[in-house]
A = this chain, B = another copy of it.
Amino acid sequence: MNIQNILSANAKSMRRSAIRDLLSVANRPEVISFAGGFPNPSTFPVEDLKTIMQEVLEVESTSALQYGPTEGNSKLRELLAERYKSQGLQITKDNILITTSSQQAIDLVTKVFIDPGDTLICGLPSYLGALQAFWSYQAKPIGITKDEELEVVVKALIGSGKKPKFVYAIPDFQNPSGITMTLQQRKDVLAVAKKHDLLIIEDSPYRELRFDGEEQPLIYSMDNERVILLGTFSKTFLPGFRLGWVIAPTNIIEKLIVAKQSTDLCAPVFDQAVTARYLEKGLFDKNLKKTIDLYRTKRDQMLSCFEKYMPEGVTWTKPEGGLFLFVTLPEGYDSTELFNVAIKENVAFVIGEAFHCDGSGKNTMRINFSFMNEEKTEEGVKRLATAIKKMLETAPVPAATTF
């Protein structure tokens, strides 16, 4: 049967993850991979989980193994509401929907607000998984660089009859750039959204992982009607539980609940029960502190290896938190070409182009520092530097960019 003729326009608009394809090459054991966005498994609180899982099975198996409410575990939503209230959000648990990963939250928000051809604003670069969700509903993401003015871009879009449905932002330690928005930038985004009556999707998977510098307020804390805040336990607790959440005004949460019903009925129920107990016992915060200390050390080591080994002309961000730094090769070089050289040196990364919805960013790449151990990190950066030097020597800068 030829299925090409009967695929939906959504299916034709979907794009396979470039990361997924890269990872399959990078999975050889001899490759040191900085490609994934994986938390370090040493942060998984295995012993505490043993205790808590037995408790859940002992005390609440009847509900924890059964179907659960679509909006999620009531206790877990209360605990999350408390945490966010301490950050200035005026919310209750009724503003919270537990999702099967924050990726699902992006999917549901897109499904509820995007019609084919609709525009939205995102960063250049931006999170690839969000771009994939946008494309899968035939959205047209419009990327803006950190130097472009949001107001100008939005006005131009409105002028051409393509008013964006929302602004998608990752204000803290952005994936992939590692950059954090200043307070003024947050206020500016909100002001533009208010002026033109736009939604803001504030995607915040890394916020809890701040190593140093000053915490900036959540955009949601400055507004009560147009911000949809996304969070996840995947980076601070366990990716394997697939638990995230959406915080939004209740009129939006109600729509997302209906959308979630037909998508998977409810998020993993047992995993939610375990997570609620883990939070309630104060173990989450204790473990988070250790995780932050570990990742700070890893970031520092990665940065010092970069200082030590990278050839001149290569630049990189110095993130205050999160999992990634973003590397820029000299203008005119292509990180896809570099990937092919690097993989022969047994080191892998993600090409930056994958994060640019307009195909730009060819001379950039994303480097993860949370997963690898100290020894492999140094060896991997050495290999990467070798690959870059080889590329710089053999591939002269294209003429167009040297004049």
Residues of A within 8 A of B (CB): 1, 3, 6-11, 14-17, 20, 36, 38-39, 41, 44, 46, 49-50, 53-54, 57, 61-62, 64-68, 70, 100-101, 103-104, 107, 111-115, 118, 129, 132-133, 135-137, 165, 197, 199, 225-226, 234, 238-242, 249, 251-252, 255, 258-259, 261-271
Contact of A101 among B10, B101, B265 (CB under 8 A): B265
B111/A10 in contact, CB under 8 A: yes
A242/B259 in contact, CB under 8 A: no
Chain B residue numbers with a CB within 8 Å of A269 are 239-242
A136→B255 CA distance, assembly (Å): 12
Contact of A240 among B10, B38, B68, B241 (CB under 8 A): B68
Q: How many copies does the complex hold?
A: 2
26 contacts between A and B (CB under 8 A): A1-B197, A1-B225, A3-B252, A8-B112, A8-B113, A8-B114, A14-B258, A15-B258, A36-B67, A41-B62, A41-B66, A54-B54, A65-B240, A68-B240, A100-B242, A100-B268, A103-B264, A103-B265, A129-B262, A129-B265, A132-B261, A136-B262, A241-B269, A242-B266, A242-B267, A268-B271
A41/B61 in contact, CB under 8 A: yes
A239 to chain B, nearest CB (A): 4
A262/B41 in contact, CB under 8 A: no
B11/A240 in contact, CB under 8 A: no
Q: Across the interface, name the chain B residue whose C-beta is closest to A134.
A: B262
B268/A240 in contact, CB under 8 A: yes
B66/A57 in contact, CB under 8 A: no
B255/A11 in contact, CB under 8 A: yes
Chain B residue numbers with a CB within 8 Å of A118 are 8
Chain B residue numbers with a CB within 8 Å of A66 are 38-39, 41, 44, 239-240
A234→B91 CA distance, assembly (Å): 33
A240/B107 in contact, CB under 8 A: no
Chain B residue numbers with a CB within 8 Å of A100 are 100, 242, 264, 268
Chain B residue numbers with a CB within 8 Å of A7 are 112-113, 255
A47 to chain B, nearest CB (A): 8
Q: In the complex, given contacts A11-B112, A104-B263, A129-B265, what are 19 additional A-B residue pairs having Cβ atoms less than 8 angstroms apart? A: A3-B199, A3-B251, A6-B165, A7-B112, A8-B114, A11-B255, A14-B262, A15-B258, A44-B62, A64-B240, A65-B238, A65-B241, A129-B261, A135-B262, A240-B269, A240-B270, A241-B269, A242-B266, A270-B271
Chain B residue numbers with a CB within 8 Å of A225 are 1
